[in-house]
Homo-oligomer: A and B are copies of this chain.
Amino acid sequence: MGQAHKISDAIVKRLPAYYRYLGDLQTQGITRISSKELGARMGLTASQIRQDINCFGGFGQQGYGYHVAELKACIGDVLGLVRTYNMVVLGAGHMGQAVAQYDGFRHHGFCTTALFDPDTNLIGTKIAGLPVYSPQELSHYCRENTVNIGIIATPMHAAQTSCDALIACGVYAIWNFAPVDLVTPDSVAVSNVHLSDTLLVLAYHMQKNLHAELE
């Protein structure tokens, strides 16, 4: 998997979108697509599409385009979607519960198994069929169960402590919903959900539409 090391962060960030669009094409029964058509759907140029796909060893055929299923499988492979991942959620407030119940990633092999929250009203209950434990039980739980990813959905002030607790339990991947920059060792993979970013992009498009109307 030496190739994985050469992929730039910018391309890595585009991979999920490729994966999503190719899945949509499959659903629509489309088996082949040109870089131009794929680019038009994704808001990229044909040349950028070809550059990206070349980067992870993808394969188009001049005049025939890309084979949708093969390309999707190849990207899934690069993304590591050939296995399953067990996840726990720290923080069973609204965000934690929303993420635990969100069904947009279960079919990719990501499975939430438990929530942790200090609220004694929640401990011992079930949320979306999943048990809620005290944070003090985290290390025991991680010894008894495989936990690949820790989801941080705590209030801001508890995010770093939660992150440290996960790492101490040997969890080396953090999906962070708190609007905080976590401090972690290099060996820990962190992906931050910056909700505001998509909102700012929306503001941009709103005013662009407004200006277009006024012209």
Closest to A77 in B: B207
Inter-subunit contact A104/B209 (CB<8 Å):
no
Closest to A148 in B: B206
Cβ-defined partner of A43 (8 Å) among B9, B94, B104: B9
Inter-subunit contact B175/A202 (CB<8 Å):
yes
**Complexed CA–CA distance, A43 and B95 (Å):** 28
**Chain A interface residue number, banded:** 35 or more
**Complexed CA–CA distance, A205 and B12 (Å):** 9
**Complexed CA–CA distance, A95 and B19 (Å):** 24
Inter-subunit contact A195/B104 (CB<8 Å):
yes
Inter-subunit contact B173/A202 (CB<8 Å):
yes
Interface check A59, CB cutoff 8 A:
no
Inter-subunit contact B191/A199 (CB<8 Å):
yes
Inter-subunit contact A4/B207 (CB<8 Å):
yes
Inter-subunit contact B95/A102 (CB<8 Å):
yes
Name the B residues within 8 Å of A103 (CB-CB). Answer: 179
Interface check A80, CB cutoff 8 A:
yes
Closest to A127 in B: B94
